Amino acid sequence: MADKQVILVTGGTGLVGKAIEYVVENGEKRPNEEWIFASSKDADLCDADSTRSLFEKYKPTHVIHLAAMVGGLYRNLKYNLDFFRKNMMINDNVLAASHEFGVKKVVSCLSTCIFPDKTTYPIDETMIHNGAPHDSNFGYSYAKRMIDVLNRGYNQSHGAKFTAVIPTNVYGPHDNFDLEDGHVLPGLINKAYCAKRDGKEFVIWGTGLPRRQFIYSRDLARLMIWVLRNYEEIEPIILSVSEEDEVSIKEAAMTVIEAADFKGKVTFDTSKSDGQFKKTASNEKLRKYLPDFKFTPFKEAVKETVEWFEKNYETARKESAK
């Protein structure tokens, strides 16, 4: 039997953590693996001693690092300093503890918002540090970029196998469906539910014209497990559907409306900010490794997410962490 592997997932009760747990429990777990899904109740990752205690308790051989202070466009605009400082502390503590406890491999999770605001499209893994990120979320973006700097530093100084993935817009069961400052797709799902329940119009913030590549959380989970086991590079890898699968916010909203069976009036509140118009990412590197990977079709995945939200409405996350 292969050596026992203890895989610690920080942020293990969030959107991606829950998706990894689902995939692991539905056929991906190997006999020699023990999976630990840690949450903020288990450790304060902003505190070095608390982080070290978590690693001392579980002695992980591998880490998937998902924990972060996160929020949608409007929360980012308001709290850039907090996003920068807290995420810098979390990332530094997790990677320092991983080094101290001899973790064999760490896979951290970045975001396409880290890319330069002024860039050519599609964006790829070589362009991360080529200019300033969008001003709306510079705090979060710079903190996430620094994971790549830390990964390179730990590799150069200690030979550590610390790497990172860059997913596009993730959605799925266990998302944060906050109406004010959650991410776009879960926000639309919650709005559709409330509009249908209350007999009100469905209001889409912004023009609906910006375009996004959405990745279903369970597809991302399968890919992250593949990265943990098989991806040997220190440089990050973009995990995304193809460029031709990019959809507008309006198209995404109409997909949600269809999945939720909403029949009422739909309007656009153009007084609200659109954020970045597009962040088209290339998945060419991923396709070189996994040319035959099959993503869940967008309509099917949205339908599954809407059904999960409706079934779990009372307990689903609908507010931001303060």
Which residues are designated catalytic? 140
Collect contacts of 196-203 with beta carbons under 8 A, ≥24 apart: 196/260, 196/261, 196/262, 196/263, 196/264, 199/264, 200/264, 201/264, 201/265, 201/266, 201/267, 202/253, 202/257, 202/262, 202/264, 202/265, 202/266, 202/267, 203/267, 203/268, 203/269
What is d(CA 72, CA 139) in angstroms, rounded to the nearest whole number? 13
Q: 78 CB contacts (<8 Å, ≥6 apart)?
A: none
Nearest to 28 by CA among 300, 309, 229, 254: 229
What is d(CA 5, CA 28) in angstroms, rounded to the nearest whole number? 14
Nearest to 224 by CA among 234, 213, 237: 237
Angle formed by the axes of helices 249-260 and 298-311, nearest 10°? 50
Distances (CA, A) of 148 to 11, 107, 322: 19, 11, 27
Query: In the block, which residue shows the tokens 């070189």?
Result: 288
Q: Are 218 and 172 in contact (CB under 8 A)?
A: yes
